[in-house]
Every structure is written in C-alpha cells, then in structure tokens.
Structure 1
Amino acid sequence: MIGKEIALQFANKGGKVTIIDVNEKALVETVAKYKEKGYDNYTKVVNVVEAEEVIDTVEGVSFGSCRKTSGYRKYFSVFCR
C-alpha cells in the first residue's frame, strides 16, 4: 500500500512510474486506477524475491542517463539473493 501511494505522488507530479506486483489481479486493478487519472506507466508481474526478475524489469525500463550509472545490478545481486 505504501508503494502505491508513493508511486501515485510521483505520477501526480508528472513522474513516470513502473508498477510491479506478483499478483496479476492486483496489478490490473492498480493500473486501472492510474489510467483513470490519465497516467501512462510501465507494468509487469514480478516476484521481487527473485533477483533476476527484478533485474530484468529494471533493464526493461528506460531511465535515460541514470541507467548507465545506477549500479542496480550490484545492488540487487547483493540484497535480493
């Protein structure tokens, strides 16, 4: 619930958000709420316990120049395994 609210605040300020959930039904419901407000976002069913699923998702999202310097692969391989 906290993640949904934080993402909604980012979207309210014009940010683009990626919405992930292990539960596809919950993901569809969340996406519907965002679309009602006119927000466009990237969504994917992801089990955040599986580091490779998270890494694949992050690699699939464009972060511009931040993507090249974020070090996300090291972070997730240390903290998600």
Structure 2
Amino acid sequence: MIENKKLKQNIKKFYLYKILMGMFFSVPILVLFWQENGLNLTEIMLLQSFFALLTVILEIPSGYFADIYGRKNTLLIAGFMGY
C-alpha cells in the first residue's frame, strides 16, 4: 500500500518535471547571452531554427534505436547525453 502511494507521488513529480523542462526557461537568458556576445536577433533565430530542425530529424533515429535496443536502454543513453 505504501509503495503504491510512493509510486503515484513519483509519477506526479515526473509529470511536473517534464512540464517544467519543456518550458525552456533558459532560452530567454540564452538569447540575452548571445546578444551580449555579438549575435543579432536574426542570427539567434537561425540558431534556434537549426536546433529545432535537428531535434525533429534526430527523433526518428532515436525511435528506431528504441525499437532495436529497447525503450529503457534508449532513455538511459539519452539521459547520459543530456537529452
């Protein structure tokens, strides 16, 4: 009974973590940092576009990798890579 309660709490905490990580709080600070280091807004948006494009392109190989080696192993490797 206690384990079930802890599991439910962990699931709620995990969803909160995913929501907060998905909000990208660091992006406005990163934009200011890049502007301070000489990039204009057009260059910053090109960098952000490149990042978004790579994210979409790399989702396909990660899904294939998960099919071959398992979802758990893929998540473990992605966690170590900081994904």
TM-score bracket for this pair, using the shorter chain length: under 0.3
Structure with greater strand share of residues: 1
Q: Who wins on radius of gyration, i.e. which is larger?
A: 2
Greater length-normalized contact order (CA 8 Å, ≥ 6 residues apart): 1
Give the structure with the larger helix fraction.
2
